[in-house]
Amino acid sequence: MHCLQRRREYHVAGLLTTFNAAFDRVAMHSTRRALVEAQARAAGLPLTAVPLPWPCSNAQYEAAMRGACADAVARGIGAIGFGDLFLEDVRRYREERLQGTGLTPVFPVWAMDTRRLAAEMVASGLKARIVCVDPGKLPAEFAGREFDADFLRDLPEGVDPCGENGEFHSFVYAGQMFREAIPVESGEVVERDGFVFADVRLAETVPAPA
């Protein structure tokens, strides 16, 4: 999103996320809906929430996304941005599914060196928490850690520093794309369906004294 905002040919009009309707969390890595809504507020952008059934077949997912794309086109949206970095099959899938929808797929960070990109994000002040780990690719104890210089230094050989191969997923709570940081606190860490999830929730803030 930050890269798109810096490109004059695009105006970022909103955010789009799929949610597991049964649990009201992000479909892939179980982030609470309230956190994603906080991201949208911090970015000053509207959020389009696409509900998915649970369990969800690929056909159901594609039907839900076709509906979301049709709604976007009806609102005058002309493109949709993705954060993919180098997985050719994923990019091809997105491009094929968007053919004929009226939406152009945009890949603002495609082919960037992921080690350099991760280091630049940390140096720029981006803050994120690791919320999901595939223990077959990255040790479970990385779940719940901060995405920072220490995290990048400790990654085992062969693990992509941006998690592009599904090694981990993160929740961003501060950065140049936000008007203010999102106060968060860590919850429990659980293993479910072959993945390790580290819960993150909005932290309670204490009003400043009058």
Q: What is the pLDDT of residues 36-57, one digit of tens each?
A: 999 999 999 999 999 999 999 9
For residue 175, which phi and psi values (nearest 5 degrees)? 160, 175
Residue 208 placed within a domain: no
Position 210 in a domain = no
Is 111 domain-assigned? yes
> Residue 128 domain-assigned?
yes
Residue 78 lies in a domain: yes
**Residue 116 within a domain:** yes
| Residue position matching structure tokens 């860590």 | 186
3-state DSSP of the chain: CHHHHCCCCCCCCCEEEEEECCCCEECCCCCEHHHHHHHHHHHCCCEEEEEECCCCCHHHHHHHHHHHHHHHHHCCCCEEECCCCCCHHHHHHHHHHHCCCCCEEECCCCCCCHHHHHHHHHHCCCEEEEEEECCCCCCHHHCCCECCHHHHHHCCCCCCCCCCCCCEEEEEEECCCCCCCCCEEEEEEEEECCEEEEEEEECCCCCCCC
How many angstroms separate the first and last alpha carbons of the chain? Answer: 37
pLDDT value at position 27? Answer: 86
Q: Is residue 198 part of a domain?
A: yes
pLDDT beneath 50, residues of the chain:
none
Q: Give pLDDT, residue 123.
A: 97
| pLDDT of res. 205 | 65
Q: Give the pLDDT of residue 210.
A: 59
Q: Which domain holds residue 69?
A: 2-202
**Nearest Cα to Cα of residue 51 among 41, 39, 65, 40:** 65
Instruction: Count how many domains the chain has.
Output: 1
pLDDT for res 204: 80
d(CA 46, CA 90): 26
pLDDT computed for residue 173 by the predictor: 98
Q: Return the pLDDT at 209.
A: 59
Q: Is residue 90 part of a domain?
A: yes
Q: What is the pLDDT of residue 28?
A: 82
